Amino acid sequence: MNSFKWSGIAIAAAGVLLIIVNSVFAPMLDFNVPFTEMMASKAFLWRLSLAALTVFLLMIGSPALYAYQTGRSGLFGKFAFGLAFLGCTLLFAHEWAQVFFMHSMAVVAPDALQAMEDTKGPNLFDLEALIVITLFTLGWIAFAVSMLIANVFSRLSPILVIAGFFAIPLLTAATSPKLGGALGSAVLGAGFILLGRELFKNPAEVC
C-alpha cells in the first residue's frame, strides 16, 4: 500500500482516537477525589495510553501531510511542519512519561507525587507541560494555516483543525471541562479524520 495511504490511515485514526479519549475516557475521570487517586485510576491510565497513541499517530502521519503540499507551502509551510512535528514529539514524550512514570508513582508513592503537586507556584513538571502543549497547539495551527495557503487539501479540513484548537478552551469555559473538552475535540478530531481521508483517497496528488 502507498505510504501516503498508510499515513492517511494514521492521521484519520488519530482523529477517531482523539474523539474517543475526550468523549469516553476523560469524562470517566473523577476530579473530586485527591489528585493522586485520580492519577492512579484505571480510567486515567487508559486515557493517558490512548492519548499517547493518538499523538504518536499524528507524529508519524504528519510528514506525509507536508510532502502532499510541499511544492506550494513554501518556507512558511516548512517552518509550520517543523513546529507541528516538534510539538508532536515532545507531547508524545510527555504522555509516555505520564503512562510509565507518573501513573506508577501515583500507585506506589502517592505522597511523593502529592508533595510535588502541592509545591507553591509552578514546578518544572508544570512548566514542561505548558511548553509542550503550547508548541503542539501553535504548531498544528500554523501547519493548518499553511494548508490553507497551499490550497491542496479541501479547505474544510484545516479549518476544522484550527477551529478545534480554539473550540476546546472556549467550550470548556462556556460549559464544563468534560463537555467542552468532548465537543471541542470532536471538531478537532473531525479535521484530522478528513485530512487522513484525503491522503488515503488521493495519494497520487502530491505537489
Q: What is the pLDDT of residue 204?
A: 57
Q: Is the pLDDT of residue 205 over 80?
A: no
Q: Which candidate, 139, 131, 11, 151, places its Cα nearest to that of 81? A: 139
57, 11 Cβ separation under 8 angstroms: yes
Q: Is the pLDDT of residue 133 over 80?
A: yes
Q: How far apart (Å, rounded) are the C-alpha atoms in residues 183 and 25?
A: 14
With left for phi above 0 and alpha for psi between -120 and 50, is residue 54 left, alpha or beta?
A: alpha
- pTM given for the model: 0.90
Q: Is the pLDDT of residue 202 over 80?
A: no
Q: What is the pLDDT of residue 51?
A: 94
Q: pLDDT of 187-196, one tens digit each? A: 999 999 999 9
- Rounded to the nearest 5°, which phi and psi values hold at 34? -55, 150
Q: Report CA dihedral (46, 52, 57, 58) to the nearest 10 degrees.
A: 130
Q: pLDDT of 86-98, one tens digit each? A: 999 999 999 998 8
Cβ count within 10 A of residue 105: 17
Q: pLDDT of 67-122, one tens digit each? A: 989 888 889 999 999 999 999 999 999 999 888 888 888 888 888 777 777 777 67
